Structure 1
């Protein structure tokens, strides 16, 4: 049977064997492929422009982006290689306009999309997928949770319900993805630890469903970033590249995106791991300009869904936080004016794009 035509209930051992065999072949050919991987500059995830996307601030220097075309135009001006943008409820006409603009600018396009929760959601999902493909996006990203694990789910049962719903959603999505030949990456969105997500991806048994590997999110779940990338890289379809800084606080630690090269992540190693498994993978910047997030890992409620996580993970994470104490406090933006926040957001993104070309060879 042709692997590309196998159903979602393919036996796991054979699917995993084929997957690993393919990856092994790719790894052997890596010396011939780096130039291909490096030929696409780093792109920008729409969430990097959380302050500017649909902004009502009325700034003359940093006008809000109304839609994907505005984002494409601006990121092209910055020298980015592409964008990853929300694609829910697009019309066919708008998808064609995005396609025409994307083709003229020569940028890659990836979509952010919601998966179906029930069979009744499948027609909506299929329309979103069809519009995404019409626009030129063959790679989509999704989230299979309602929020950060430690903030949204407060019992083991609640988290188990989430896992069942996530699997249902992916199995509903898979035939649509296979039909349209579009790949979907599930992000480690401060919800799944890496082994949990990897196991879920194995269970789908589909080449059309993999991972959107976020480089920094899983620190919030007490995971080592390199281990996360090593675990998920065999399934990598797309990425959220970022750098992170940490700081102690009484209930655990603070976690913040910072411009590339100013944080604690070993970005060259993480990029290399992803390229080894998918030489054509794009690297899309998610530099969110906001106040640090509180990770309350010393409070009992944090642990309600982490029954199998050993205390050594907490000890290692807290030691890492102590070791990487920042020279100054993590950046805060809540007290800035709208104009100051927009200016800082733009500077952070421009600095990251420059760093990616200068230091990371993503160009």
Structure 2
């Protein structure tokens, strides 16, 4: 994709191509029973949109999101549970059953004992809607931006363990699963050790295919380390290019980036044949990963030197064919158009080539 804004004609033509790809032949085995779904963050611009749009109206609740995802051929939705009303929960269950879609919830961990009732109520609300897998994170943000000392990382780890020990009895009692994402916070071996130490059949991993590149990890090593615990996924492809302070990292439509998606999907299916594959195609400007600055390193002392060298080598060898796409310069409607286009192209890829 080029940086120039799409014209209306360009978008219509490319959307038509995406729609045509969605209709190709029979689906491959891994998506035969359930097409790929969509993570709410794929609609970062459209979800609770601040600016009105006639062509791309914002989604004000999860039911509207699910209805749209069904209309474009997605197999399910992973979305936030916070603020669901009983009416929304009932509508989601009805939609899920009517359309044969899956529904995964996204939920915040209890930070202390006072938040346990809130967490339990959200789990119960999700169950009312038909949710059995709840994705969560231990931290909002990025390790190298949030923490500035090894001591801060240790405090984060201690608090995360405490939160999971508060959450685990709830999901166990309710008979559901909690899936912790590798969210640019844990390196893969750290997260695997955390899940193993917790020792619960009800807590595993949301495996994000691309996040851990920002922590200087080889994507396939991440997959092989975390796939034994996989309960849900964030499917994405990643583009990389160098910049003066390190490298740029960006979600790109599936098939355009550096990840071996068929192999990653096969590994996930090996360990969990029933795992859902949920697209997280975030349309935004590239993230700057400033590994050549001193600010990056206080929270990253665990990284071996060879991982730094291998990551830089990968960036140089597999750099994106053009400048990475940007959207900050686009109008609100043009950004919404690119967002929808990226999702349609990724759905088409999943049905044709995965």
TM-score (norm 2): 0.91
| Within-5 A mapping of 1:12-31 | none
1:10-35 CA-to-partner distances (Å, cap 9, x unmatched) read xxxxxxxxxxxxxxxxxxxxxxxx95
1:259 shift after superposition:
0.2
Larger RCO of the pair (alpha carbons < 8 Å, separation 6+): 2
Q: Where does residue 305 of structure 1 map in the other structure?
A: 299
1:96 aligns with 2:90: yes
Runs of 4 or more off by more than 6 Å in structure 1?
Answer: none
| Within-5 A mapping of 1:21-170 | 35=29, 38-170=32-164
| Within-5 A mapping of 1:217-236 | 217-236=211-230
Q: Where does residue 280 of structure 1 map in the other structure?
A: 274
Distance 2:266 2:30 in 1: 13
Local SS of the residue matching 2:115: helix
1:37 and 1:281 in contact (8 A); partners too: no
1:359 shift after superposition:
0.2
Q: Where does residue 177 of structure 2 map in the other structure?
A: 183
Distance 2:163 2:32 in 1: 34
Count of matched residue positions in the alignment of Structure 1 and Structure 2: 327
1:257-293 CA-to-partner distances (Å, cap 9, x unmatched) read 0000000000011101100000010100000000000
Distance 2:29 2:300 in 1: 42
1:37 shift after superposition:
6.1
Does the C-alpha gap of structure 1 residues 194 and 38 become closer, same or farther in structure 2, counting only changes over 3 Å?
farther
RMSD: 1.1
1:37 and 1:275 in contact (8 A); partners too: no
1:358 aligns with 2:352: yes
Distance 2:167 2:87 in 1: 24
1:239 aligns with 2:205: no
Local SS of the residue matching 2:226: helix
Local SS of the residue matching 2:51: coil
Local SS of the residue matching 2:297: helix
1:332 aligns with 2:349: no
2:62 and 2:88 in contact (8 A); partners too: no
Q: Where does residue 202 of structure 2 map in the other structure?
A: 208
